[in-house]
Amino acid sequence: MRRAVVFAVLALLLPVPAAAAEPPEIGPSDLRAKSRPVRARVAEVHRKALADAADWIRRNGSVRKASVAAFGDLVARYVPGGDPAGLLPDGPAPDRLDRKERDRLKKMAGTLAEAAGALKAAELGAPAGHEAFLALGLDPGNDDAAGILGYVEVEGVRKHPRERVLRERKLAPTRYGWLPEAVAARAKEGLVPEDGKWVPAAEADGRHGDWGGRRTLTFVFCEIQTALPVEQIAPWAERVDASLAWMRSLFVGVPGFAEPPWPLVVRIYRTPAEATAAGDRPPEPFAYWWKGVGIVNAAAFVPGTMPMEHVVQHELSHGLLELAFPPDPNGSVCSGWLTEAFGQWIYRASAVRPNDTLLWTFARPWLAPPIAELEAGRDLMDRLRHLTWAEGRQTDLGTAGALLADYCAVEPLRWEGFARFVGRYHGYREARGDFEALLGPSEVVSKALAGWAREHAK
């Protein structure tokens, strides 16, 4: 099994031939020329890191199989261009790594952190934050990456300041959220926490049958309130929390970013009627974000629909943008298509590498209309500015925007433009001027996006 993992990772790390034609430069016009050398240098850092990792695996994979497999898994997760594996905390435990692999990862993290610093100096703050996030994935103790993200030391590694606050309160992380250290230390497989004890799930759930008896699962970046059985939430709650850390890294370097008041709150109701009884607007059909809280309708999730985890991530992405980039009360409000664009992109991107996000979904019918319109020469902004939320075109709005997000995520200058554009919280019909200043003429962007979509939809 380990040998199969090593060879699979090795295959994914092999260099991919570059495209024959250079794509147009999409991104803020004032940064294109002066950031070009930095972007080229960062791309070379990624290429060399993958080549060095592949060589290390070839030379050592048969000697220290488990450690080299863990090394390959982490490189594939956190070095751009590697395997489209998750960014979430379900990877190898650090103690599977021997000292030699640890040292290699620290060195590699140092080069990514240097790249993050170079991107920041070139005013590409959004990709700089993400590069720093990846560096910490390889070496959680890297100070340079931590500084870019605003992280602090927490028990020998670098974490968001809220985690330090939780530790100071004598809390410890579990799959059921952060609990008192004494309770967390007594965790037992197959049991769930209840009133400071660990009991069978059925016993605990019997005390939470209605909203009045709801439980709260507290994590670093999110808080989940629900009366649902805890095992309906626990399997994915940590992943949702980790995805918020990643989402934050994508925007923390954008001008105007304000640290949200963590944790973001989500209420998961069993039915719309339960939401109404609790004083919330019923979440029909799935969910919404309103007045600083995500509201989710658990009754909408039946076999064949999207997982509840994805919808919770989607609503939290709305909350992150609303709180990190509060709209001007005297100006335009957040554009529906921008909000939905990032929200639809994130619950696919968070499960895979941002360098390869929507590719597996291109065959889905809901992606076909925007791709066909772009290929036919339709101008993206002309199309989007004529769609409004009142028309009930949320899917149409978000799909076209998610396609744009996916296209921008693979290149630093593009992501800087897209992230700044989202961060400005435009109104529906006023966005074209800023779009073209931050990304380029809409006709040029639309043509480039069409070509990229056509190539990656094969």
Spatial CA neighbour of 275 closest among 303, 302, 294: 294
Tokens of 311: 């919808």
pLDDT at 427 over 50: no
Look at residue 221 and tell me if it is in a domain. no
Residue 325 pLDDT exceeds 90: no
Is pLDDT of 393 > 80?
no
d(CA 328, CA 425): 9
* Signed CA dihedral, 229, 232, 235, 239: sign only: negative
- Distance between CA atoms of residues 251 and 420, nearest Å: 8
CA angle centred on 415, ends 81 and 322, rounded to 5°: 125
Give the C-alpha separation, 330 to 318, whole Å.
20
Q: Is residue 214 part of a domain?
A: no
Specify if 421 maps to a domain. yes
Number of compact structural domains in the chain: 2
The one-character DSSP state at 23 is P
- 90 within a domain of the structure (yes/no): yes
What does the pLDDT read at residue 2? 46
Q: What's the CA gap between 454 and 374, in Å, rounded? A: 10
Task: Tell whether the model's pLDDT for residue 381 goes beyond 80.
Answer: no
pLDDT at 395 over 70: no
Tell me, what's the pLDDT at 232? 92
pLDDT on residue 272: 94
Residue 181 lies in a domain: no
Q: What is the pLDDT of residue 112?
A: 97
Q: Report whether pLDDT(423) > 60.
A: yes
User: Is 196 among the domain residues?
Assistant: no
Average pLDDT over residues 214-233: 95
Q: What is the mean pLDDT of the chain?
A: 83
- Give the DSSP H/E element, type plus range, for residue 225: strand 222-226
As a whole number, mean pLDDT of residues 336-364 equals 57
Judged by phi (left if over 0) then psi (alpha if -120 to 50, else beta), residue 282 lies in: beta
Residues 6+ apart with CB under 8 A from 168: none
Among residues of the chain, what percentage have pLDDT more than 90? 50
pLDDT at 216: 96
Cα 146–Cα 150–Cα 154 angle in degrees, nearest 5 = 65
Point out the least confidently predicted range of 88-102, 191-205, 355-369.
355-369
CA nearest 315: which of 334, 341, 336, 287?
287
Residue 431 lies in a domain: yes
Cα–Cα distances (Å) from 328 to 151, 260, 337, 385, 423, in that order, read 28, 16, 18, 20, 12
Percent with pLDDT over 70 in the chain: 78
* Token pair of 11 as six digits: 């295959």
- Is pLDDT larger for residue 342 or for residue 335? 342
281 Cβ neighbours under 8 A, 6+ residues apart: 275, 288, 290, 295
Domain end residue (candidates: 160, 175, 200): 160
- Tens-digit pLDDT profile for residues 85-134: 444 445 555 668 999 999 999 999 999 999 999 999 999 999 999 999 99
Q: Name beta bridge partners: 154.
A: 157
Structural domain boundaries, residue 146: 2-160
Give Cα separations from 369 to 73, 374, 397, 400, 404 (angstroms). 36, 9, 11, 9, 14
Does residue 395 lie in a domain region?
A: yes
Strands 171-174 and 177-180: antiparallel
**pLDDT confidence tier of residue 361, bands split at 50, 70 and 90:** very low
- Residues facing 158 on adjacent strands: 153
How far apart are the C-alpha atoms of 431 and 381, rounded to whole Å? Answer: 8
More confident residue, 130 or 306: 130
**Domain final residue, candidates 160, 194, 213:** 160
For the record, the structure tokens of 62 come out as 């048969």
399-404: average pLDDT = 78
How is the chain split among helix, strand and coil, in percent rounded to 5?
Answer: 55, 10, 35
- Lowest-pLDDT range of 115-119, 258-262, 347-351, 439-443: 347-351
Question: Looking at the predicted structure, is the pLDDT value of residue 424 above 70?
Answer: yes
In whole angstroms, how far apart are CA 331 and each of 74, 259, 386, 430, 455?
Answer: 44, 21, 20, 11, 39
- Choose the final residue of a domain: 126, 160, 194: 160
Phi, psi of 360 (to 5 degrees): -75, -10
